[in-house]
Structure 1
Amino acid sequence: MQCLAVLLSLLVVALCSAGHDTGQLSNSSRSFAEYTDQSLLWAPYRSNCYFGIRPRNVDQSPFMMGVMWFDNSDASGLSRMRHFVDQGDRLTKYGWEVYDPRVGGKEVIIDEENNLNLTLYFTKSHSGENWAVRVHGQPIDFTRGTVASIVLYFNQNGEDGESKLVKLPELGDGSTKFHGVSKELGEYQITVEDNKGSYFSDPNLSTMEIVPGCDSSKPTHISLTIPDSNVWMAKDVFLSILSDSVKKIVEEKGAEAVNPSLFPSTFTVRNLYGFPPGNFHYLQKSFDNSDPEGFEFDIVYNKLNAQEKILSAQKVTALIVETLKHVESKFDRLFEIEPKNGKHHEFALETLSNLLGGIGYFHGTQLVDRTTIFDDEQFEEIKLLNSREEGPLSLFTSVPSRAAFPRGFYWDEGFHLLQIMEYDFDLAFVIISSWFELIEDDSGWIAREIILGDEARNKVPEEFRIQNPNIANPPTLLLAFSEMLERAIKSQEDSAMAFEKDDVMMQDETNQLEFNSNLLVEYARKIYPKLLKHYNWFKDSQRGLFEEYEEMLNEEGILEKAHEDEVYVWRGRTISHCLPSGMDDYPRPQPPDVAELNVDALAWVGVMTRSMKRIAHVLGLEEDEKHYQNWENNVIENLDLLHWNEAQGCYCDLTIDSFEDARTFVCHEGYISLLPFALKLIPRDSAHLDRIVSLMADPERIFSDYGLLSLSRKDEYFGTSENYWRGPVWMNINYLCLDALKYYYPEVLSAKEGTFSPEKQVAQKLFKDLKSNLINNVFKNWEEKGYCYESYDQHTGEGKGVEHFTGWTALVVNLMGRK
């Protein structure tokens, strides 16, 4: 019971710490909250940037920074300026090789077009309140004669009159210093100091200053005021100012402006319009990129009243070494991937690091349309035209892809947490608690995409920016929470387990709440009402029409066995797409009908119910627990009674044949038909198990050398139209299926081949081959192209969709070596 208490208590502690409500915390609670706030305060939490820092839970006056770069040796370089992560940049590589948001890591960017190999190290003081960034650059080809122009920008947000950021006078030591004041963060100093490298200068010219303020042979700084809500437009503002400056130089200098040696100076920003000093600052450094040794400089943030300051390059180096060693050793303690210096180990560490490196902190308003009325009898695309800004809200979350989806996705996040919890159990709870904070107090709704503020909104196609309370997504957060509770239940059954763990693990500050049980009394009950409202919202908003089937079920003699309150449909589907289900173009009943019932919607309700049952058990809410147990049983019974098609041998959607006025199964073998199995809702003694395993193992239907196909090869829709969920291999559902195989066949998977019946041997071989195929194919794509992908081609295994998709595809790390 104690281990279960830990899990819930952690969740609520995180909720309280997220709002800084520590006034009533006990000493043990305060210890966890303080460690969480300190270790997770600073990180590159601007997921959409190649590198951008902001603090977590500092909303009114956060300090913001970003790194941009381009080759300013010729005019075409402006079109290759990098800021936001973009697949169109065609970088050879970008991403974290080693990373943990609590301590920092190493990001590598290889930009062939700009002839730049850029490595960025992020590290923190042990207290977590100060940090340093080391920027190290080298030419890919030093003979190309390029110039690496690095543009830093800093902004002290806060329109309160107290917050400010000013550049300090030069002291002649080659460093650039800023003094800042934040109402929430206090006073601090930013120091930018070179370690090595030369700024671009032509020794044949007497001066590199083409006009006052434009001189590539030294750093250039300008200060101005940009509204807090527009800081994300730093690149646009920079390019606008620079373009105007270049035009002015050409007008004034004529032919002299096209001297190649002066191009770097020409493309140096200046305060052309005499802006008065403000809280926003650009600092541009143009390095000679013909030196094979490259350049290096440090950006250091020190809080003025901090006890542990970062005061030298040697200290930065020491912290970087310690940071990288810490992450690598922790990874090796938690994941068993041999050899340690092998490519598979490198791949796994890098993939997990990029999932963690996508964690961001978002704050701002969201667009919500609460007035558009859904017509359940129409299945055309619903236009949400009545949006209003609501909030501001905050969210701490990982993201599916920094390039394409740098925002919170409800459907994806539960899968992310299944991976994150294996590395940092407490971090996973802090993230899930941030999501639970967004449950609306009155309705229980959470938006399917959390798009907060203009910076996040900028990366979203306009048609997806507006959210609506009628539209749901698979409740994977409850799936992740259920898995966390499952781990605790297992510990409860073996009370000695916690004491047998390694002493280092027991003392790991990132797993405090897995082993401390004294927080339940203070906090456990706080989260339950929110989750209950969310549970009821999901069921009410997606409830299907049972009455349409009553007469038919009565004729079949099964009406009395069916449970009328446990039938569900995805609201908001169109003729061709069912976006709420998460599997957008997966085939559904055609034509759509108001009476349609979706098997996956029912299965996800089963997951939510099971999770709520476990929470009620932890809280000692016996009556609630009985209700959830009854509802879970009803879901399971309806899955078999209403959605199982014996002739087809799989679970199917339902609709009504308008001509024969009969209940009709709409069966498309693939992920939807597997979900009741994948979500462990089928009884362990079910007669259906062998047929489901046979389907998964069949190479003529959905088994492949790359993983389970999303749709059977024999289906009429296989590989057609958009072909998004109509064949390609997706890691998230494959992972669930492998996990379900372990659940249903635990004794088989660990036994020698040939020990069990032929049916169970099929499951044994399927698990072994499927796991191997998934790992090998994702690794092969990474080794050849440097990235994980959104999905994988059903014919070739080649990565498809978004590259650098280290959201749920990162689950491959769990498959490779979870201890």
Structure 2
Amino acid sequence: MAKRRKRVLTGDGVPSPREEKAPAPPRREKKKKTDIGKVFINISIGLCIFSLIWFFYALYMRSALARRVVTLHPSPRVLNATSSSPAVSPDQFWGSYRPHVYFGMKTRSPRSVVTGLMWMRQFADVDGNLRHTCEQGDRLQGYGWLMHDGVSFGVQEIHDRDFTLTTEFVKRMGGDHGGDWTWRITAKQHSSAAMAPVISLMFYAATDVQGSLQAHVEEKNVLSSVTGTSEELGNFKITFGKPTAGEGATGKYAKYNYLQTRSPGLDKLTDIAKNSLNHKFIFSPPKGEKRSYFAVDSHKVMTHHNQQQDPKIEGDFVVHQVTVQTPFQIEVLFESGSFHDRPNQLVGSVLTDELERRKVAFNEKFEGTFGLQAKEFTSSQIKFAKAALSNMLGGMGYFYGQSVVQSVYNEHPLLYPESPLFTAVPSRSFFPRGFLWDEGFHQLLLSKWDPPLSLEVIAHWLDLINVEGWIPREQILDDEARSKVPSEFIVQHNENANPPTLFLVLQKLVDQLETDPDRLSSHLPVLRRLYPRLQTWFEWFNTTQAGPMANSYRWRGRDKDTNLFLNPKTLTSGLDDYPRASHPSSDERHVDLYCWMALASGIMANVARILGEPHKVYENTHLTLSNNELLNELHWSDNLRVFSDYGNHTQAVSLQQEKVYVPPGQPRHQFPVTRLVRSVRRAPKLQYVNALGYVSLFPFLLHILTPDSPKLEHILRDIQDPEHLWTPYGLRSLSRTDPLYMKRNTEHDAPYWRGPIWININYLAVRALHHYGSIEGPYKEKAAAIYQELRTNLIKNVYKQYLETGYIWEQYSDSTGRGQGSHPFTGWSALTVLIMAEKY
């Protein structure tokens, strides 16, 4: 039974108010408690839903950002898909667009039939010395184009150990597929050769997946011709002439062999030919001993086809080998099936006459363009200048394929969209592909020779730009190109820039358009299509490469492993190991990039003005960056009296052997190999980088300094000082007094931009001296005097090294003037022609 509640009475027997029944708690208070719980639950559910939405949105955005690196710019392409076709550009359809081989031709099409030449010396000390792709290891005494007009003909000499091959070609228009062409190969022994060498020439044709070839064999197993067909070429025929002692001479004794097989890729052609060589064949001239020689042999070729793969990935490959003793001459004729009304075959005397006519036209155009005879250069110097120009024209390549790229939003590299690129290359042997910052210098020369060709090259490069405004700085577009590149350099990262040197060419183009109404009307449509891409490109630089302070700039992509590098490299600047701040950080300011942006903003303003587009933003940017007070504030070091980078820096660094402890009695080989690592003896601090060299000159090189700037006096003084930049051969890249002068950057990384003389920067220096020596200012006479001396030194040394070595070089020793680095390097080193012509 429940316990009864006790009642408390008041004095009159009335129950106390406390005893009255307590009212029920208000219902609303209980309701309030329940509402708070529901609100909390609802908020929790809402947050979960929001988090899920945000998560999936973030995934979507990351995916979208990841795709941006491979999304091309949305504006209409500057060049349409048929711009290189034989219907639109028949005279440039065929060409020597394979700069990585000693001699070869292809069409400007994505999957071209390619033709080429291999050769080897028979009965030599080294068996199987097959030549095909340009290799420095072949140690040729020299090779390169002596004449090449970029369109219709070329003459090249290749100096092997005891003989010289002269390769000539001429094109003739006709039909619907780029017309005909003929090769003439002439071989002569060197006067120093003990006996006439026997040489095997191997002419070949190969298809790149598309098209087919058919070999036609005569009696005695001699390949007489190859017929074929492809989408771009239609039907065609290649006929192999018999060797003679010269034009009109009788035939010579020769042995013939041929190879017909399949190739998994154009990058495998050398290996297939080399692996097919057999020593069983006999060379038996009428008045000579019988000897075994090497020849291609179809029976030795191993199939490259994987039965699980699609056979369409392979292409046809046909080789015609002729083995003959020097001297001799052979012609190879290509005839287009659509050329129905040809008057005669382009062989023999017809070919000779056509070659002579093209040579006369080339010489006349060369003198009309550069005027070297009028400047009283010798015939030998003019021949050198023609070779320099011709090697750049003969080094033009047409590439098609996909770059490998990556952004911070990609876990793995991606393939860039398939694209064509028509470009010059720095070096046929070492860099036979497109480089963004090199190309601006190349086009300074080529725009003088052929302005429409130069404009087309610029358009090809800007058609590669993605939606962000980024252009991959090194173009490695196909298997042939990748076969020449170390794997660590193949992937291109979209935060990395390269100097926008194409603006140097656009500057000249804009100057011409403003003074030539006829050229303005013809080039205006192309410039209008270029403009939205230029806008995005400039904006990409202006945002992604911005520095820590307003109007400052910083190269991204510096090497981050400061333990291994004496000074972490800045490949993106184009100046690789040139000394920057010793400890990379986001506090850096780079004076060369500042100057590139000052130049680019001014040109953007001029282009916008010509096109009637808004130009004030570019003009204001240019006025700001051209303000010498701002330049001084950001980059002038009063202590050093030079323009400098700024960053986290110390000079007290060196490379030292790493210490590895080996316990007593333990074998040394079981422990890590010691390396050279960086030792920092004094902590870095934010300061100006105390390096005097090319970077210090950029306000002068790109004409940012006003002609009355007192800083110009300091620059001219440093240029003339032999302890700093002056040499009898050109301006060295880094002062001799610098702690990093000619110092290795790693154990295996020799000095590159730490002393040697580079022609591209010397060209800018000569151009700047000419500029400041031609306008009024307190330093006019001094600049003009230095100009004359520096110009003379550069021409004299590059020419001298060419005569002595047979090559134009990547760089030149600041102590001896000797050519060094890769060779032939007829990229920007060919700017010597413009220095000779005084065309700035």
What TM-score range do you get, normalising by the shorter chain? 0.7 to 0.9
The structural deviation recorded for 1:696 is 1.5
1:540 maps to which residue?
A: 543
SS of residue matched to 2:695: helix
Contact 1:192 1:300 in 2 (8 A): no
2:318 maps to which residue?
A: 281
Q: Give deviations 1:616-640, integer Å, cap 9, x for gaps.
A: 111111x3x1100111122233322
Contact 1:223 1:281 in 2 (8 A): yes
Contact 2:497 2:555 in 1 (8 A): no
Q: Are residues 1:696 and 2:682 paired?
A: no
Distance in 1 between the 2:521 and 2:690 partners? 50
1:809 maps to which residue?
A: 829
The structural deviation recorded for 1:371 is 4.2
Q: Give deviations 1:13-68, integer Å, cap 9, x for gaps.
A: 9965552269xxxxxxxxxx989712211111111000121111x114x2111100
Match of 2:225 among 168, 177, 190: 177
Q: Are residues 1:683 and 2:730 paired?
A: no
Distance in 1 between the 2:787 and 2:623 partners? 28
Match of 1:628 among 614, 618, 629: 618
The structural deviation recorded for 1:485 is 1.5
Once structures 1 and 2 are overlaid, which stretch shifts more, 580-589 or 186-195?
186-195
Contact 1:155 1:281 in 2 (8 A): yes
Q: Are residues 1:42 and 2:28 paired?
A: no
Contact 2:76 2:529 in 1 (8 A): no
Distance in 1 between the 2:239 and 2:194 partners? 32
Within 5 A, what are the aligned runs for 1:549-628? 564-574=550-560, 575=562, 576=567, 577-621=569-613, 623=614, 625-628=615-618
* TM-score normalized with structure 2 length: 0.77
1:360 maps to which residue?
A: 397
Distance in 1 between the 2:209 and 2:592 partners? 46
Once structures 1 and 2 are overlaid, which stretch shifts more, 338-347 or 732-741?
338-347
In the alignment, residue 325 of structure 2 is paired with which amino acid?
Answer: D
Task: Provide the alpha-carbon RMSD of the alignment.
Answer: 3.1
Contact 1:651 1:667 in 2 (8 A): no
Distance in 1 between the 2:207 and 2:556 partners? 44
Could you say if the C-alpha distance between residues 804 and 737 of structure 1 is closer, same or farther in structure 2, counting changes exceeding 3 Å? same
Could you say if the C-alpha distance between residues 304 and 435 of structure 1 is closer, same or farther in structure 2, counting changes exceeding 3 Å? same
The structural deviation recorded for 1:295 is 3.3
* TM-score normalized with structure 1 length: 0.79
Contact 1:195 1:313 in 2 (8 A): no
SS of residue matched to 2:509: helix
Distance in 1 between the 2:536 and 2:572 partners? 19
Q: Give deviations 1:228-267, integer Å, cap 9, x for gaps.
A: xx1232110011122xx45xx59xx9xxxxx983412x53
Q: Give deviations 1:575-601, integer Å, cap 9, x for gaps.
A: 421111111111111233331111112
1:192 maps to which residue?
A: 240
Distance in 1 between the 2:414 and 2:574 partners? 25
Match of 2:787 among 750, 767, 787: 767
Distance in 1 between the 2:238 and 2:79 partners? 27
Match of 1:323 among 358, 375, 382: 358
Contact 2:227 2:237 in 1 (8 A): yes
Could you say if the C-alpha distance between residues 124 and 626 of structure 1 is closer, same or farther in structure 2, counting changes exceeding 3 Å? same
Could you say if the C-alpha distance between residues 682 and 164 of structure 1 is closer, same or farther in structure 2, counting changes exceeding 3 Å? same
In the alignment, residue 138 of structure 2 is paired with which amino acid?
Answer: D
Match of 2:767 among 736, 739, 742: 739
Distance in 1 between the 2:291 and 2:583 partners? 66
Distance in 1 between the 2:708 and 2:340 partners? 61
Distance in 2 between the 1:649 and 1:340 partners? 39
Distance in 2 between the 1:517 and 1:761 partners? 36
1:235 maps to which residue?
A: 270
Contact 2:770 2:783 in 1 (8 A): no
2:23 maps to which residue?
A: none
2:735 maps to which residue?
A: 712
The structural deviation recorded for 1:415 is 0.5
Match of 2:133 among 84, 89, 101: 84
Within 5 A, what are the aligned runs for 1:45-194? 45-56=97-108, 58-60=109-111, 62-73=112-123, 76-78=126-128, 80-112=129-161, 115-126=162-173, 129-140=179-190, 143-144=194-195, 146-159=197-210, 163-168=211-216, 170=218, 176-194=224-242
Contact 1:175 1:193 in 2 (8 A): no
1:645 maps to which residue?
A: 637
SS of residue matched to 1:765: helix
Distance in 2 between the 1:36 and 1:170 partners? 38
Could you say if the C-alpha distance between residues 519 and 100 of structure 1 is closer, same or farther in structure 2, counting changes exceeding 3 Å? closer
Q: Are residues 1:333 and 2:368 paired?
A: yes
With a CA cutoff of 8 Å and minimum separation of 6, indicate the structure with the bigger relative contact order.
1
The structural deviation recorded for 1:390 is 2.8
In the alignment, residue 101 of structure 2 is paired with which amino acid?
Answer: C
Could you say if the C-alpha distance between residues 662 and 222 of structure 1 is closer, same or farther in structure 2, counting changes exceeding 3 Å? closer
The structural deviation recorded for 1:451 is 0.6
Contact 1:413 1:476 in 2 (8 A): yes
1:558 maps to which residue?
A: none
2:58 maps to which residue?
A: none
Match of 1:299 among 307, 310, 333: 333
In the alignment, residue 224 of structure 2 is paired with which amino acid?
Answer: T
Contact 2:238 2:332 in 1 (8 A): no
1:460 maps to which residue?
A: 485
Within 5 A, what are the aligned runs for 1:524-535? 524-535=527-538
Match of 2:461 among 435, 460, 474: 435
2:81 maps to which residue?
A: 19
Distance in 1 between the 2:524 and 2:784 partners? 44
Distance in 1 between the 2:477 and 2:497 partners? 18
Once structures 1 and 2 are overlaid, which stretch shifts more, 649-658 or 475-484?
649-658
Q: Give deviations 1:452-492, integer Å, cap 9, x for gaps.
A: 11101111112111111111111111222123223433x26
Match of 1:261 among 290, 293, 298: 290
Distance in 1 between the 2:796 and 2:358 partners? 30
Q: Give deviations 1:418-477, integer Å, cap 9, x for gaps.
A: 11111111111111111111111x111111100111101111112111111111111111
Could you say if the C-alpha distance between residues 171 and 321 of structure 1 is closer, same or farther in structure 2, counting changes exceeding 3 Å? farther
Once structures 1 and 2 are overlaid, which stretch shifts more, 680-689 or 301-310?
301-310
The structural deviation recorded for 1:768 is 0.7
Q: Are residues 1:781 and 2:781 paired?
A: no
The structural deviation recorded for 1:523 is 4.5
In the alignment, residue 611 of structure 2 is paired with which amino acid?
Answer: L
Match of 1:471 among 493, 496, 504: 496
Contact 1:137 1:295 in 2 (8 A): yes
1:380 maps to which residue?
A: none
Contact 1:125 1:310 in 2 (8 A): no
Contact 1:599 1:643 in 2 (8 A): yes
Once structures 1 and 2 are overlaid, which stretch shifts more, 164-173 or 445-454?
164-173
The structural deviation recorded for 1:664 is 1.9
Contact 1:130 1:301 in 2 (8 A): yes
Could you say if the C-alpha distance between residues 660 and 628 of structure 1 is closer, same or farther in structure 2, counting changes exceeding 3 Å? farther
The structural deviation recorded for 1:686 is 2.5
Distance in 1 between the 2:332 and 2:86 partners? 28
Distance in 1 between the 2:290 and 2:431 partners? 40
The structural deviation recorded for 1:218 is 3.5
Q: Give deviations 1:692-713, integer Å, cap 9, x for gaps.
A: 2222122332111111111112
Gaps of 5+ in 2: 1-74, 247-252, 283-287, 306-313, 651-681, 745-749
Aligned residues: 694
SS of residue matched to 1:595: coil
SS of residue matched to 2:238: strand
SS of residue matched to 1:696: helix
Distance in 2 between the 1:727 and 1:310 partners? 57
